[in-house]
Amino acid sequence: MDLKLLDRVAVVTGASKGIGLAVTRSLLEEGAKVVAVSRRMTPELKNLGGVGLLHVSADLMDPDAPGRIVDRAVGHFGALDILVNNAGGPPPGITMPRTGFFDGDDAEWQAIFEFNLFSPVRMTRAAIPRMIERGGGSIVNVSTGMARQPASVNIEYGAAKAGLSNLTKALSEEFGPQGIRFNTVSPGAVRTAWWTEKGGAADAIAAMAGADRDTVMETIAPQMMGQVTGRLIDPQEVADAILLLASPRSASTIGADIAVDAGFHKSF
C-alpha cells in the first residue's frame, strides 16, 4: 500500500536506535525526507545515509533544542509535515526498572517528566506553527501501555506518559480543525536498548530474579508484561503503526491511541 509519504518532511526524535531508527528507516523507504534527532550519530543511523536524511544532534533536555531542530528541518528541507515524538524512557543518569514509589526522589521525577513529557510538549509547540503554514500535518506521540494500565513498577515513567497521552487527545481537539492530526502509539515491552544494553532493564531484572539476561528477554519480561505472544515486540512492529498514523491514509484517524503491546492492555 502506498502511504503517500513521498517528499513529506518528517522530524523523528530518538532516531538513533530502537523504535526511532525503525521509523526513520521506514520513512526513507517510503520516499519521505527525514530529520533524525539524537544526541549522537550511531553507525546504524549513518548507514541509512542518502540525501533524504539529515541528522541533527540535540539534547531534548535542553528547552531551546526543539526550536533549533524545527528551524533546521525547515531550513534544510523547506517544510515540516510530520513529527514523531519518540524519544523517551530513562533520561541520562537514571536507571530503570524502579520497583516502587520510594525508589526516586524529586530530582529524578523531574528528570523523567522533562524527558518524557516536557520535551514532546516543546517539540510540538515548535512544530505546530510550521504545520499550520503548510495547511496541516501529523504528530505521532510514542507513549506506553503503562499510561493506561498503571503498575507499581516505573511509576514516574507511567505518570509522565499518561500526561503525554492526555495531551494528544487535548491537542487533537484544538488543532484538528486546522488540519493537524495528533495520535498516540502505546507499545508494550519492545526489544530496544532499554532492555538490551549492558546495565539495562534485562540485567536489573536478571539480578532480582536470579536469572540470566537472555532468559529475562526471551521469557521473563514478556510474562511480566502479560504479552500473549510470549516475546518482546520488534521495533519495526511499532514503526509500522507510527507510519500508518503519520500517513495521509489515516486522514480521519484523530486522537487515537493505538496499542502495539502484544495484549498487555486487557481492559476495553
Specify whether 223 is located in the same domain as 123: no
Specify whether 172 is located in the same domain as 217: no
Those residues whose C-beta lies under 8 Å from the C-beta of residue 32, and which sit 6 or more positions away, are: 5, 6, 7, 8, 9, 10, 52, 82
Amino acid at 230: G
Specify whether 196 is located in the same domain as 253: no
The total of other beta-carbon atoms located within 10 Å of residue 201's CB is 25
Q: Please report, for residues 98, 156, 167, 177, 183, the alpha-carbon distance to residue 24 in angstroms, rounded to integers and kept in the order given.
A: 30, 28, 24, 28, 18
Give, as one character, the DSSP assignment of residue 255. Answer: S
pLDDT at 258: 96
C-alpha cell at 144: 506506553
pTM of the model: 0.93
Residue 267 within a domain: no
Look up the domain containing 143 and give its range.
9-190+233-260
Residue 1 within a domain: no
Provide the residue count of the chain.
268
Indicate which residues carry an active-site annotation: 157
Specify whether 128 is located in the same domain as 253: yes
Q: Tens digits of per-residue pLDDT, 158-199?
A: 999 999 999 999 999 999 999 999 999 999 889 888 777 887
Specify whether 203 is located in the same domain as 239: no
Segment among 4-18, 88-102, 120-134, 156-170 with least mean pLDDT:
88-102
Specify whether 110 is located in the same domain as 141: yes
Residue 266 within a domain: no
When divided into structural domains, the chain yields a total of 2
Residue 265 within a domain: no
pLDDT at 149: 79
Sign of CA dihedral 68, 73, 74, 80: negative
Q: Tens digits of per-residue pLDDT, 47-105?
A: 998 899 999 999 999 999 999 999 999 999 999 999 999 999 988 887 777 777 887 78
